[in-house]
Amino acid sequence: MKAWLDPIKELGACQEALDWADKYDSLEEAWAACECYDWMRWLFHRLLRLNEWWDVYNTISEGAWLSASSKKRADIIRKHYPKPPVKEE
């Protein structure tokens, strides 16, 4: 497993996500390729960036969000956050 994944593993990422992310050379590269919005949402929650998460969610109607595919939701998240969230000190 690549060293950049160590902090993600420490946050409690599932093995499936770690195996998938290990194909990439950085968190930024994995973020850009991710089609699983649940993993992106998980990272926001683990880093306690919930206000930012709700900012993304509130930009579109609930119906549109609920009817969107996981990939479309991931695209919406990336539109607002092209780079992955980082833990605030």
The whole-number pLDDT of residue 24 equals 97
The whole-number pLDDT of residue 87 equals 72
Q: Would the CA dihedral through 71, 75, 76, 78 be positive or negative? A: positive
Lowest mean pLDDT among 7-11, 19-23, 66-70: 66-70
Which residue would you say has higher pLDDT here, 61 or 43?
43
Mean of the per-residue pLDDT values of the chain: 86
Helical spans, DSSP H, in the chain: 6-10, 15-21, 27-33, 37-46, 50-57, 62-67, 70-80
Under 8 Å between Cβ of 43 and 84: yes
Evaluate whether residue 85 is within a structural domain. no
Q: What average pLDDT score do residues 42-71 get?
A: 79
Count the domains in the chain: 1
The whole-number pLDDT of residue 56 equals 74
Evaluate whether residue 87 is within a structural domain. no
Evaluate whether residue 72 is within a structural domain. yes
Whole-angstrom CA distances from 36 to 31, 49, 72, 76, 88 are: 10, 18, 9, 12, 23
d(CA 16, CA 65): 25
Overall pTM surpassing 0.75 (yes/no): yes
Rounded to 10°, the helix 50-57/37-46 angle is 140
Residue 32 has pLDDT above 90, yes or no: yes
- Domain range enclosing 29: 3-80
Q: What average pLDDT score do residues 14-33 get?
A: 95
